[in-house]
Amino acid sequence: MSDTRTELGELGEFGLIEHLTKNFNPKREDTIKSIGDDAAVIDRGDHFELISTDLLVEGIHFDMSYTPLKHLGYKSIVVNLSDIYAMNGTPTHVTVAIAASSRFPVEALEELYKGIQLACDTYGVDLVGGDTSSSVTGLLISPTVVGRVDKDKVVYRSGAKENDLLCVSGNLGAAYIGLQILEREKQIWKENPDVQPDLSGHDYVIERMLKPEPRPDIVKALAERSIVPTSMIDVSDGLGSEVLHICKQSKCGARLFEEKIPVDPLVASQAQEFQLEPSVCAMNGGEDYELLFTLSQADYEKAKDIEDLHFIGHMTDLNSGAAIVYPQGELIEIKSQGWKAF
Amino acid sequence: MSDTRTELGELGEFGLIEHLTKNFNPKREDTIKSIGDDAAVIDRGDHFELISTDLLVEGIHFDMSYTPLKHLGYKSIVVNLSDIYAMNGTPTHVTVAIAASSRFPVEALEELYKGIQLACDTYGVDLVGGDTSSSVTGLLISPTVVGRVDKDKVVYRSGAKENDLLCVSGNLGAAYIGLQILEREKQIWKENPDVQPDLSGHDYVIERMLKPEPRPDIVKALAERSIVPTSMIDVSDGLGSEVLHICKQSKCGARLFEEKIPVDPLVASQAQEFQLEPSVCAMNGGEDYELLFTLSQADYEKAKDIEDLHFIGHMTDLNSGAAIVYPQGELIEIKSQGWKAF
């Protein structure tokens, strides 16, 4: 080991993974896609297998003071499944590794597993393995999902072309607003434990944060119309960060129209309470687990009636960069504000 | 959640997993084997896919005071691959989730990944994914391996029959003695930090502990002779615990001959220093990552010349239980002394 000491935080989450794995060149012929997309892709003869691993750490990714364990179990599976949908695939099986300190009784882990089971049942996957251990402090959950996709249907982050349409499912920014409300009530409660948290009227945004749902319905709707997106990613770190991933890997630029970014009216009004622009919540918030993808313009007619799908912009050439276009025509460059675990 | 509080330690590691997943009944037709073997088995049409997840937690599974990070990375992959070999399969790809506190600089994780890479290269698997996060304290590694096996070659813990031969590869107890030496030197060092650890002459047992190797050569030797074991498991928790797993799942008893249990002469002599019976180190020690399996008697002639393979006993009917036979004919019942993470 050299004498240099580089702090983990200096590289950020993406930078660190990239740095640590830069010397890992796949050596097997059946490795089609390694690190760098939502899931890895393995050639299994008549189909591609997909595999993705996540990591949820107490105090970093979730706060036990407002996260019900059942919701946490549900979410840990859902965020992992979302990676498979983002490859246009179907998740089939999951494993879960859990480390828990002795602060958690068996009954707490039972709640966690109830959420895991509900997510598995809801999305038609089987839990087939895992490992459970004690930890020195806190709770840590690492789910791994495997799935499959037809070889001619797999979608990477890298396939977008100039003039392709940029689409996103559902609406964005709700999970972020949910988090702001939970954090606000936590602060109030910490300052005065007699005050009960006031979460009334915020069910929708809080549920988007604590119990998100992935979008297999969109994958299905595309398949029914024989549409294969040219690129796809799930919105886990904020729309801005995901658009930049697609741009970088597809070697394109992008134009997003600010007024086209789908934001729920509840989110828009609550964003104002926090003195936030709704579109900023969408761009920088993350944890929405919606699907962001690009379509060839030729597929527009087939795609335009898909429910809950929004056309928010288009891809450009690399040199024009990635930018949001505001209603008055102002152009703001998109910079990564993606969530950092370090 | 009920008001009852059951401590995690009350159930033990195996008991806890069994308890938490008892309501998880596989619903998919392609789930061939779920929780309860070395790996899960999924029907992928022309072959079975295998998947297994492990969890290595600082302070529980490893002690940073005497574990070089490169060795730790290597071992974390190897223990996971061993689960696939124990199904008579071939590992192909791994993912690794790592949580590390800010106490670890980037350079420390680089060392860890060098070990991961060495293990991947040595055993012909590709690292294709993973996640990296900070943790509040310590280091945690969760590897997941996928692999494949021909449908007519998969071996479970449950297939042993009465009169089958019980075989084990390599030798046992070395990792356990290595651990005792490392722990002894750590104590000496803690009492007097000026004393350098004296590990001379102990290279073999310490390497068995810190940098174990799995046994694909045994899987290959069996395949070359067209032998499919009737049951198999890897020795991670001690020979006694693994024999009991095979007995329980195969609904058999077993007789092990104490003098047939392979123990390296170095282990035997060092066991005496610690006032331990060598065979007790083998039975209760664990972390050897050798393969324990059963063969139909009809396969004995084909198997007997396999290098580094030892015939240590045979399976009996369920009612006669599992026991070690000592040279003078004394019978001692085998009880689980398997390592507990809680």
H/E/C letters for each residue in B75-100?
A: HHHHHHHHHHHCCCCEEEEEEEEEEE
The pLDDT, as a whole number, for residue A104 is 92
In terms of residue numbers, what domain contains B99?
8-149
Closest chain B residue by Cα to residue A37:
B129
Closest chain A residue by Cα to residue B95:
A53
Task: Compare CB distances from B99 to A4, A21, A57 and report the shortest one's residue.
Answer: A57
- Higher-pLDDT residue of A123 and B187 is A123
The pLDDT, as a whole number, for residue B201 is 83
CB of B168 closer than 8 Å to CB of B310: yes
Domain presence at residue A18: yes
Question: Same domain for B305 and B221?
Answer: yes
DSSP string, B16-49: HHHHHTTT-----TTEEE-SSSSSEEEE-SSSEE
CB neighbour burial string for A267-302, b if at least 16 within 10 angstroms, e if fewer: bbebbeeeebebbbbbbbbbbbbbbbbbbbeebeee
Query: What whole-number distance in Å separates Cα of residue B218 and Cα of residue B214?
Result: 9
The pLDDT, as a whole number, for residue A1 is 47
The reply to whether residue B26 touches residue A126, judged by beta carbons under 8 angstroms, is yes
Quote the mean pLDDT of chain A: 93
Domain presence at residue A141: yes
Domain presence at residue B154: no
Question: Same domain for B144 and B230?
Answer: no
Domain presence at residue B194: yes
CATH for B69 = 3.30.1330.10
- Higher-pLDDT residue of B294 and B12 is B294
Quote the mean pLDDT of chain B: 93
The reply to whether residue B1 touches residue A52, judged by beta carbons under 8 angstroms, is no
The reply to whether residue B95 touches residue A124, judged by beta carbons under 8 angstroms, is no
Task: Compare CB distances from A144 to B4, B53, B135 and report the shortest one's residue.
Answer: B53
Distance from the B57 Cα atom to the nearest Cα atom in chain A, whole angstroms: 7
Closest chain A residue by Cα to residue B12:
A133
Residue appearing with tokens 């460059």: A333
Query: What whole-number distance in Å separates Cα of residue B267 and Cα of residue B207?
Result: 12
The reply to whether residue A131 touches residue B120, judged by beta carbons under 8 angstroms, is no
Question: Same domain for B16 and B83?
Answer: yes
Question: Same domain for B70 and B190?
Answer: no
Closest chain A residue by Cα to residue B41:
A128
Domain count, chain A: 2
Residue B146: count of CB within 10 angstroms of its CB? 28
Q: What is the pLDDT of residues B108-124, one digit of tens each?
A: 999 999 999 999 999 99
The pLDDT, as a whole number, for residue B31 is 97
The reply to whether residue B42 touches residue A146, judged by beta carbons under 8 angstroms, is yes
Give the torsion through C-alpha atoms of B8, B14, B19, B22, to 10 deg.
Answer: 160
A170, amino acid identity: G
Question: Same domain for A88 and A188?
Answer: no
According to DSSP, the residues that pair with B312 across neighbouring strands are none
CATH for B304 = 3.90.650.10
The pLDDT, as a whole number, for residue A341 is 43
The pLDDT, as a whole number, for residue A335 is 84
Confidence of residue B341 (pLDDT cuts 50, 70, 90): very low
Domain presence at residue B158: no
Chain B residues closer than 8 Å to A92 by CB: 28, 30, 42
Q: What is the pLDDT of residues A14-53, one digit of tens each?
A: 678 888 888 888 999 999 999 999 999 999 999 999 999 9
Mutation site for B-interface testing, chosen from A79, A82, A135 by largest number of B Cβ within 10 Å: A135
Q: What is the pLDDT of residues A79-96, one digit of tens each?
A: 999 999 999 999 999 999
Q: What is the mean pLDDT of residues B17-45?
A: 93
The reply to whether residue B24 touches residue A134, judged by beta carbons under 8 angstroms, is no
Distance from the A217 Cα atom to the nearest Cα atom in chain B, whole angstroms: 20
Domain presence at residue A201: yes
Q: What is the mean pLDDT of residues B142-155?
A: 98
Q: What is the pLDDT of residues B64-86, one digit of tens each?
A: 999 999 999 999 999 999 999 99
Distance from the B12 Cα atom to the nearest Cα atom in chain A, whole angstroms: 10
Name the packing angle between helices A69-85 and A106-123 (round to 10°): 30
Closest chain A residue by Cα to residue B47:
A44
Task: Compare CB distances from B21 to A7, A30, A127 and report the shortest one's residue.
Answer: A127
Domain presence at residue A214: yes
B220-227's contacts with Cβ under 8 Å and 24+ in sequence apart are: B221/B306, B221/B307, B221/B309, B222/B88, B222/B303, B222/B306, B223/B153, B225/B299, B225/B302, B225/B303, B225/B306, B226/B302, B227/B295, B227/B299, B227/B302, B227/B303
Least confident of A44-53, A188-197, B122-131, B327-336: A188-197
Question: Same domain for A196 and A317?
Answer: yes
Question: Same domain for A140 and A177?
Answer: no
Question: Same domain for A218 and A316?
Answer: yes
The pLDDT, as a whole number, for residue A337 is 56
Give the domain-ending residue among B115, B149, B183.
B149
Give the domain-ending residue among B99, B122, B149.
B149
Closest chain B residue by Cα to residue A103:
B7
The pLDDT, as a whole number, for residue B339 is 45
Q: What is the pLDDT of residues A266-291, one digit of tens each?
A: 999 999 989 999 999 999 999 999 99
The pLDDT, as a whole number, for residue A2 is 52
Query: What whole-number distance in Å separates Cα of residue B5 and Cα of residue B21?
Result: 19
Domain presence at residue A160: no
Least confident of A218-227, A331-340, B53-62: A331-340
Q: What is the mean pLDDT of residues A314-325?
A: 96
Closest chain A residue by Cα to residue B130:
A53
Give the domain-ending residue among B122, B149, B176.
B149
The reply to whether residue A6 touches residue B35, judged by beta carbons under 8 angstroms, is no
Question: Same domain for A107 and A189?
Answer: no
Question: Same domain for B284 and B169?
Answer: yes
Task: Compare CB distances from A97 to B23, B53, B92 and report the shortest one's residue.
Answer: B53
Query: What whole-number distance in Å separates Cα of residue B214 and Cα of residue B212?
Result: 7
- Higher-pLDDT residue of A247 and B200 is A247
Does the structure show a pLDDT above 80 at B107?
yes
The sign of the dihedral angle between the CA atoms of A183, A188, A190, A196 is negative
Burial class (CB in 10 A: 0-12, 13-18, 19+), A319: exposed
Question: Same domain for B64 and B212?
Answer: no
The reply to whether residue A34 touches residue B121, judged by beta carbons under 8 angstroms, is no
Distance from the A193 Cα atom to the nearest Cα atom in chain B, whole angstroms: 22
Confidence of residue B198 (pLDDT cuts 50, 70, 90): confident
Chain B residues closer than 8 Å to A99 by CB: 55, 57, 140
Question: Same domain for A169 and A290?
Answer: yes
